[in-house]
């Protein structure tokens, strides 16, 4: 083989390696971007679920406070009635 042939082969191999490296970089960038999008979607869904849970807990907390207030009011009335009956 002549030097020119070897140089041509070396140049072709180097070009193929450069092309493969560029393709690999692009595939890695695409994979990273896809993972970022999937993570963002996951966080959005998680936030929606947590907001729903917070709303439910808030509702039950309000109900609990209302019931506690009602019980306190009933206890107060009962004491008043007991005092009147004595």
Q: How confident is the model at residue 1 (pLDDT cuts 50, 70, 90)?
A: confident
Output phi, psi for 2, to 5 deg. Answer: -90, 165
pLDDT, tens digit (0-9, with 9 covering 90-100), for 37-84: 999 999 999 999 999 999 999 999 999 999 999 999 999 999 998 888
Q: pTM (2 decimals)?
A: 0.58
Task: Measure CA 4 to chain center.
Answer: 58
String of DSSP letters for 20-74: HHHHHHHHHHHHHHHHHHHHHHHHHHHHHHHHHHHHHHHHHHHHHHHHHHHHHHH
Q: Report the pLDDT value the prediction gives residue 29, as an integer from 0 to 100.
A: 98
pLDDT of residue 86 exceeding 80, the answer is: no
């Amino acid at each position: 083989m002549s030097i020119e042939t070897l140089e041509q082969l070396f140049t072709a191999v180097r070009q193929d390696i450069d092309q493969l490296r560029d393709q690999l970089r692009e595939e890695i960038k695409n994979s990273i971007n896809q993972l970022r999008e999937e993570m963002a979607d996951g966080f959005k869904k998680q936030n929606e679920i947590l907001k729903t849970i917070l709303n439910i807990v808030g509702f039950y907390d309000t109900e609990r406070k209302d019931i506690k207030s009602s019980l306190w009011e009933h206890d107060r009335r009962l004491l008043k009635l007991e005092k009147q009956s004595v």
